[in-house]
Amino acid sequence: MKRLSHYDRAGSPRMVDVSAKPETKRTARAQAFVRMSPAVLDKLSVNPKGNPLEIARIAGIAAAKKTSELIPLCHPLMLSHADVEVALQAGGVRVVASVTTTAKTGVEMEALTAAAVGLLTIYDMCKAADRGMRIEGVRLAEKSGGKSGRYVAP
């Protein structure tokens, strides 16, 4: 098994030193799904708190920009682009977050954070009508750039 990069030789957590790495264009796309009752799904467009899909999109973009404040060993990154797509699907809502930067480290955590916060926002706005919603399948869909190159989830 490959050594985990966020631990030193003694096993203590550490921030990875990326100072010797070259800056490259890096992208990541993450996705997640919130399962909800058909009744709540049908009423999303008339939510008295506002349009949950649009608010989730903006919340996800804002979250991508704050990732290093939320995850202790994440590097702060200047993002070139962040976008969140939110779409109704059978049984719930899918969120897909895409993030780009030119940096010494990747943006996988920013994309994952954007997708998760987008869904948490939908949950927050709809919880009064359906406390049984389930957030599922938060995962990295693909990434590119850096030493490890391209990854596409199976």
Active-site positions? 124
Token digits of residue 40:
């709540």
What letter does residue 21 receive in the DSSP assignment? S
Dihedral, CA of residue 21, residue 23, residue 24 and residue 29, to nearest 10: 90
CA 9 to chain centroid, in Å, comes to 30
Token digits of residue 68:
């290093």
Question: Which single residue is written with the structure tokens 């989830």?
Answer: 153
Dihedral, CA of residue 58, residue 122, residue 68 and residue 144, to nearest 10: -80
